[in-house]
């Protein structure tokens, strides 16, 4: 679209960019408008895409956290049955980690910290206000029927 036929033409264009002289003719104006339109479109696309990515990332972290909490809950139950623990018994991470995948406590991808809680109570994530909770009405699906 832009033709730089001669060195003189190029010099004039560079001078225009430096503010020494203004570019002449419809070509220079069109290029500026085109540039602004492209920048505007890119800005709009970024404004739409970035919040959507952030939302989907937060939703994935929340769902993963709920699955982790279910795993912790199941491990607590198994520990309580095997070691004959009663309701209200204190549980440490080292007590239930053998019942976990890979023998270790899962980690909240959102940066939350898990609180195992006593036997008979739901484990909690420190980000429970953001839906990282077994009690969240928006949590994924219903717990499996027993
Ligand atoms: Zn969490």
**In whole angstroms, what is the distance from residue 132 CA to residue 51 CA?**
20
**In whole angstroms, what is the distance from residue 65 CA to residue 71 CA?**
10
Domain contains 107 = yes
Length of the chain: 146
* Amino acid 30: pLDDT: 73
C-alpha 115 – ligand 1 centre gap (Å) = 10
For 56-110, write each residue's pLDDT tens digit: 999 999 999 999 999 999 999 999 999 999 999 999 999 999 999 899 999 999 9
Q: What single-letter DSSP state applies at residue 115?
A: E
pTM for this model (two decimals): 0.66
Domain contains 104 = yes
The boundaries of the domain holding residue 97 are 44-130
Domain contains 116 = yes
* Beta carbons of 114 and 125 less than 8 angstroms apart: yes
C-alpha 63 – ligand 1 centre gap (Å) = 9
For 2-28, write each residue's pLDDT tens digit: 444 444 444 444 444 444 455 555 555
C-alpha 35 – ligand 1 centre gap (Å) = 44
What tokens were used for 12?
């004039």
Tally of domains in the chain: 1
C-alpha 56 – ligand 1 centre gap (Å) = 15
Rounded (10°) CA dihedral 43, 45, 46, 50: 160
Domain contains 112 = yes
Domain contains 145 = no
Out of 41-45, 98-102, 134-138, least confident range? 134-138
């Amino acid at each position: 679209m832009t033709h730089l036929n001669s060195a003189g033409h190029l010099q004039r264009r560079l001078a225009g960019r430096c503010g020494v002289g203004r570019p002449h003719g419809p070509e220079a104006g069109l290029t500026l408008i085109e540039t602004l339109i492209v920048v505007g479109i890119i800005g709009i696309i970024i404004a739409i895409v970035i919040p959507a990515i952030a939302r989907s990332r937060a939703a994935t972290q929340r769902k993963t956290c709920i699955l982790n909490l279910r795993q912790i809950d199941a491990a607590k139950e198994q520990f309580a049955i095997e070691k004959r623990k009663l309701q209200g018994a204190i549980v440490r991470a080292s007590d239930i980690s053998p019942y976990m995948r890979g023998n270790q406590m899962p980690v909240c991808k959102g940066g939350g910290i898990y609180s195992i809680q006593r036997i008979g109570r739901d484990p909690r994530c420190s980000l429970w206000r953001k839906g990282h909770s077994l009690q969240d009405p928006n949590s994924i699906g219903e717990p499996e029927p027993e």
